[in-house]
Each structure stands twice: as structure tokens, then as C-alpha cells.
Amino acid sequence: MAGFARASSSLALFLLCLVVSSSEGREFLVGGKTDAWEIPNNSSQSDSLNQWAENSRFRVGDTLVWKYDGSKDSVLQVSKRDYVTCNTSSPIEEYKDGNTKVKLDQSGPFYFISGAQGNCLKGEKLLVVVMSSKHSGHLGMAPAPSPVEFGGPAIAPTSGSGPFGGGLIVVFGVLAGWVLM
Ligand SMILES: *[C@@H]1O[C@H](CO)[C@@H](O)[C@H](O)[C@H]1NC(C)=O
Ligand SMILES: *[C@@H]1O[C@H](CO)[C@@H](O)[C@H](O)[C@H]1NC(C)=O
Ligand SMILES: *[C@@H]1O[C@H](CO)[C@@H](O)[C@H](O)[C@H]1NC(C)=O
């Protein structure tokens, strides 16, 4: 009986964790301001969009928001190769409504370029890397300014997993064990 009670509370904790992590998604205005999706003004800023992206810590479930003039520009989600070569001919997705939202639904890199003729070659492109969920235990609201905490050997309780990361797997395994018995 005690085992069952423990299993129930473990299950409750497990479900709570699911709810907490699924409600965590945040919205990021690309470039941090409304008119950032355009050709960078000059060479000293030519990588400003990607500098912004590097300073934001994206997680699965977050949403990118672009605000731009839909009659002049668009947002193309493309493959890495098309990102590098600025090839606009076969995008994975094309958005041109001026208020584009893209949900980052998996970890890894996402590549975006401008659909306007020549703009990508002049630097209007964005690479966003979404961290894998085992690194997303960080519950802070604001994107952390530096990635230092990942390197911290002394502070991290387990190798890189968040407060619930390792525990969840244990809880789940124990639950599965009970069900089998
Ligand atoms: C470029 O310069 C103009 C005028 O100074 C400014 O309004 C705009 O926001 C700048 N664009 C970027 C991408 O910084
Ligand atoms: C380029 O941008 C920087 C920073 O906004 C500005 O200080 C500089 O005057 C600009 N240079 C040119 C040639 O527009
Ligand atoms: C752009 O991509 C398309 C489809 O992948 C390909 O057929 C075309 O040759 C590419 N163009 C350039 C300039 O690389």
C-alpha cells in the first residue's frame, strides 16, 4: 500500500512536471525590436541578427515572432545549404504576412533567410539553435546572458541535466516497474 501511495505521488509529480514544462514556451521578437528583419545597415552590424540569437537561449516550445512589412519582405525557413548559399528557390516554409510566428518544436538549428531579392546576400539571415530538452531544466524567465553555467563542474548536480531531468527518468522507470508487477 505504501508503495502504491508512493507511486501515485510520483505520478502526480511526473504529470506536474509535464504541465510545467509544456507551459514554459516564450515568445521572442526577432532582433529584439520591430524593424529588425531587414538588411543590416552596415558591415559593423552585418551579423546583428545572429548576435541577438546567440545571446538568447532558445528552448523547445519557444516561438519566434517577426514583424516586418509583408509587402516588401518575407521570412523563409530553409535548409542549412540554402541558408549558406542564400538560395530562396525551395524554402521549407514561406511566410509573408508581416507578423510571422514560428514555433521552435524541436532542438537543433533552424535557418531563416529573407525572401526579398538579394537581401539574404546582404546579411538578412538568421540562425537559431534550440537547446535539447535535457539542457532546458533552467526555469528562469529571461534568457540568460551568458552560457557559463553549462561549463560549471562543481555546481551541476548531475551531468548537465536540470532539476527534474534525471529524476523524471527514475520516476518513470519505477512506475513502469510497478505496472509490470
Ligand atoms: C538601420 O538604421 C535605421 C536608421 O538609423 C534604423 O531605423 C534601423 O532600425 C536600423 N536597422 C537595423 C537593422 O539596425
Ligand atoms: C554603422 O553602424 C554603426 C553603429 O550603428 C554607426 O556608428 C556607424 O556610423 C555606421 N556606419 C555607416 C557607414 O553607416
Ligand atoms: C537552389 O536550390 C534549387 C533546389 O534545391 C536548385 O535546383 C538550384 O540549383 C539552387 N540554386 C543555386 C544558385 O544554388
| Residue 109 near residue 127 (C-beta atoms within 8 A) | yes
Mutation probe of ligand 2 site: the residue of 38, 42, 48, 122 with most atoms within 8 A of C-beta = 42
Residues 155, 160, 162, 168, Cα dihedral to 10°? -130
Atom of ligand 3 nearest to the CA of 87: 1
- CATH topology (fold) of 25-180: Immunoglobulin-like (2.60.40)
The string of pLDDT tens digits covering residues 37-88 is 999 876 656 678 898 999 999 999 999 999 999 999 999 999 999 999 999 9
What are the residue ranges spanned by the domains of the chain? 25-180
- 148 three-state secondary structure: helix
Q: Which residues contact 59 (CB under 8 A, 6 or more apart)?
A: 24, 25, 26, 104, 130, 131, 133, 136
Model-level pTM?
0.63
The string of pLDDT tens digits covering residues 118-142 is 999 999 999 999 988 665 454 444 4
